[in-house]
Amino acid sequence: MARKAGSDGEKTEAAIREAGARLIAHHGYEAVSMRRLAGAVGVQAAALYRYFPTKEDLLHSLMLRHMEGLLQAWAEARPPEGDPALRLAAFVENHIGFHIARRHSTHVSNMELRSLSPEKLTQVLRLRATYEKELRAILRDGAESGAFAVDDVGLTAMAIIQMVTGVIVWFRPDERLSVTDVTAKYLTMTMRLVGAGTVRENGHV
Amino acid sequence: MARKAGSDGEKTEAAIREAGARLIAHHGYEAVSMRRLAGAVGVQAAALYRYFPTKEDLLHSLMLRHMEGLLQAWAEARPPEGDPALRLAAFVENHIGFHIARRHSTHVSNMELRSLSPEKLTQVLRLRATYEKELRAILRDGAESGAFAVDDVGLTAMAIIQMVTGVIVWFRPDERLSVTDVTAKYLTMTMRLVGAGTVRENGHV
DNA sequence: GAATTAATTGAACGTCCGTTTTATTATTGC
DNA sequence: GCAATAATAAAACGGACGTTCAATTAATTC
């Protein structure tokens, strides 16, 4: 046999991305063979090579899309400037919302970096650094204005990112907590963490 | 050839554990073949099977030792009872100290759970649950006594564990920060996070 | 110093891996 | 409806995988 009825390149590529992120998030990159991935898509392994030249290119592409999507989401959610507490709140809300909505690609992007060749790794890490820089800028402004009690901007930024990204490890919607609930609780903890004691506009303590 | 001069089962097993944790932490469980691991130990692949019946049993053993070591370290470091703030400080200090000292097995225990069969996974998760329960008990006592401002013990426990475990992702000793420095900074953040505002004995705010 | 036991090698097993090649069929543009 | 092109299948490639087994030698025991 050959071309199947109703076959469509765009749909197939999207299906490969979706199944790829899901399977790799569940089982790990090395544990997902091209044959297994193809089976999940409903296609033969050779068909995958029409869309991605190698398995590693598929992984790389998933990560790039994830990071670009995250940066774009933040670019749209980010307040123009001003009050560091408001900006930090926007950052945390955007971060948690984005990562909960894309749990699979988040797992892939956080856990499978070691499977990338040096050049591809550098490319992904550059995007990640750009994103983290945004948080550090907020923390620095807050520390300088006295709004935050942060003595080590870099370390605090890493701690916050680890904490808020960690939500996808345990959180499942439809339980006792909604996404809104969880976001509010993490926001409260983040504000306390940076010593933002006077942000009453949003109700934080 | 066969048995080598100076060969010793105990030393070989220890070398397999050390190289196993290191290689799996760096490259991932699936990416480390028995032949590569044997090469790092300086032995042939078949020799590994004298110590571990399967590759998965080696992984399982590494994780069990890690969790048992963590529980034992906490059992020794844990204050008898009393002030929740002191107990929380002891927990964070023990946790960070242990994990920095055992970065490889920490990575393995956190990242490779999905490679375990259901029974072995359950066994490891049971130990992990026991450990996390300790933190929740501290947070609950602190919340009830009014020492902490924690409204969701389970969620706060997860947030703290993610944050403090995350230190091994970016921290390398011998840089601008010592282990002591980093521990102190994470302790300050943790105390703020739980709203412990009056623990002056240790200098926290 | 002989017998026993512990530690390891080297070769082999069937299986699965990522990838390539060639052929075949569905869809599209005219 | 015919040519061009897009999408896929089927089979094959060499290589690596986890694991087993028989043979061999070092260390230990008596």
pLDDT tens digits along B32-73: 999 999 999 999 999 999 999 999 999 999 999 999 999 999
**Strand C nucleotides with an atom less than 7 Å from a protein beta carbon:** 6-12, 16-27
The answer to whether residues A103 and A42 belong to one domain is no
User: Which residue is closest, via its CA, to the C1' of C21?
Assistant: A46
Please list, in sequence order, all residues whose beta carbon lies within 8 angstroms of the beta carbon of residue A109, skipping any fewer than 6 positions away: A62, A63, A66, A67, A124
The answer to whether residues B64 and B122 belong to one domain is yes
Residue A204, pLDDT score:
43
CA atoms of B49 and B13, how far apart (whole Å): 10
Please list, in sequence order, all residues whose beta carbon lies within 8 angstroms of the beta carbon of residue B125, skipping any fewer than 6 positions away: B113
The answer to whether residues A7 and A81 belong to one domain is no
On whether residue B89 sits in a domain, the answer given is yes
- Structural domain ending residue among the three candidates B34, B53, B72: B53
On whether residue A3 sits in a domain, the answer given is yes
H/E element, A20? helix A9-27
Distances (CA, A) of B38 to A204, B20, B56, B174: 55, 9, 15, 31
> pLDDT per residue over B169-199, tens digit each?
999 887 789 999 999 999 999 999 999 874 4
- Structural domain ending residue among the three candidates A53, A68, A94: A53
The answer to whether residues B134 and B34 belong to one domain is no
Residue B173, pLDDT score:
80
> pLDDT per residue over B122-171, tens digit each?
999 999 999 999 999 999 999 999 999 999 999 999 999 999 999 999 99
The answer to whether residues B102 and B29 belong to one domain is no
Quickly count helices (H) and strands (E) in chain A: 10, 0
Give every residue of chain A whose pLDDT is below 70, as ranges.
1, 3-9, 198-205
The answer to whether residues A99 and A146 belong to one domain is yes
Residue A3, pLDDT score:
65
CA angle B48, B53, B54 (to 5 degrees): 85
On whether residue A36 sits in a domain, the answer given is yes
Residue B23 has pLDDT above 90, yes or no: yes
Residue B80, pLDDT score:
82
On whether residue A203 sits in a domain, the answer given is no
The answer to whether residues B111 and B28 belong to one domain is no
Residue B203, pLDDT score:
41
On whether residue A202 sits in a domain, the answer given is no
**Count of alpha carbons within 13 Å of A17, Cβ hemisphere only?**
16
From the CA of A75 to the C1' of D20: give the distance in Å: 58
Minimum CA–C1' distance nucleotide for A13: D7
On whether residue B130 sits in a domain, the answer given is yes
Interface test with B, best of A189, A204, A205 (most B CBs within 10 A): A189
- Is A185's CB within 8 Å of B151's CB? yes
> How many other CB atoms are found less than 10 A from the CB of residue A125?
14
Burial B54-73 (b: 16+ CB within 10 A, else e): ebeebbbbbbeebbeebeeb
The answer to whether residues A48 and A59 belong to one domain is no
Q: Residue written as tokens 């390398």? A: B172
| Domain housing A123 | 54-193
The answer to whether residues B37 and B119 belong to one domain is no
- Structural domain ending residue among the three candidates B37, B53, B69: B53
pTM over 0.85: yes
Residue A201, pLDDT score:
42
The answer to whether residues B124 and B156 belong to one domain is yes
Query: Into how many domains does chain A fold?
Result: 2
Residue A199, pLDDT score:
42
Residue A1, pLDDT score:
52
> How many other CB atoms are found less than 10 A from the CB of residue B133?
11
pLDDT category of residue B9 using cuts at 50, 70 and 90? confident
The answer to whether residues A28 and A92 belong to one domain is no
> How many other CB atoms are found less than 10 A from the CB of residue A123?
14
Mean model confidence pLDDT for chain A: 92
Interface of chain B against chain A, CB under 8 Å?
26-31, 111, 114-115, 149, 151-152, 155-156, 158-163, 165-167, 169-170, 177, 182, 185-186, 189, 192-195, 205
On whether residue A198 sits in a domain, the answer given is no
On whether residue A106 sits in a domain, the answer given is yes
User: Å from B129 to nearest chain A CA?
Assistant: 13
**Strand D nucleotides with an atom less than 7 Å from a protein beta carbon:** 6-12, 16-27
Residue A10, pLDDT score:
84
Q: What is the CATH number of the domain that holds A25?
A: 1.10.10.60
Q: What is the CATH number of the domain that holds A182?
A: 1.10.357.10
CB-CB neighbors (< 8 A) of A166 in chain B = 158-159, 161-163, 166
Tell whether the torsion through CA atoms of B155, B64, B187 and A143 is positive or negative.
negative
The answer to whether residues A125 and A109 belong to one domain is yes
Tell whether the torsion through CA atoms of B49, B52, B57 and B58 is positive or negative.
negative
